[in-house]
Structure 1
Amino acid sequence: MNPDQPASRDPRHTLQVHVRPLSTDRHLATVVGDLDLHTASRLADALQPLVLTGGHSLLVDLSDVTFLDSTGLTCLIAVYRTARSTGARVALIAPSARVRRMLALTGTDQVLHSYATLDSVPD
């Protein structure tokens, strides 16, 4: 890494979040990159508003997440807690192997439900 290059341009600190509506009360957020200390706030900023309205469903595609640390995990849990308090629903779609491992190691997989594909999520 070039020391003159800002940290935000460091490829290890990149995260892309693309949100698209699937219906009036259901959104899909596709997350790409590392979900860590440097990027978790970006994900929170994108997802929290979507679960503030009760009755909505948020599906979070984690298939292209290459790294997940405790800060990223805390972000996902915070989104889940907000959803639970408002009556919204959060489900994870196709978590990558690294993400599945972290979810299993921490027991978070018992709280945040995961589905192999978008089509396998119940309505």
Structure 2
Amino acid sequence: MTARLKIRSRGESGRLIIGIHTSLSAGNLRATLLEHRQRFPHVERQLVDGASDHLISDLASSAIDVAFAAESAPRWSGKSLLLWSERVVAALPANHPLTCHDVVHWDKLRREPLLIRRRAAKMA
């Protein structure tokens, strides 16, 4: 029993509730979660998806343990950590004002209509 308590206190067993506001089909988040599962097989993981505002509320109320979001928010100031950045491809009409930029950050696309797939892209 003492050994189990030590393992649990180090976070090597138990339950982890993860809030996500991004795709898990590929990229660093998927790789991170797969590595965590491999390193800590005795941790039960539960994924919860939601809007970033809901995730921060869930964190504050301890409904989830950690949240991953595609964007930062001013309300998260001092409570968030940029883990990585990932590139995505955005298709824009030729006359769109953002086409003059080589790199466009998420905050510039915030008010733009986005078309996304209902299902994740197939992985090769």
Normalised to the residue count of structure 1, the TM-score between the two structures is 0.29
Larger radius of gyration: 2
**Structure with more of its chain in strand, by fraction:** 1
**Structure with more of its chain in helix, by fraction:** 1
Tell me which of the two structures has the higher relative contact order, counting C-alpha pairs closer than 8 angstroms and 6 or more residues apart. 2
Normalised to the residue count of structure 2, the TM-score between the two structures is 0.29
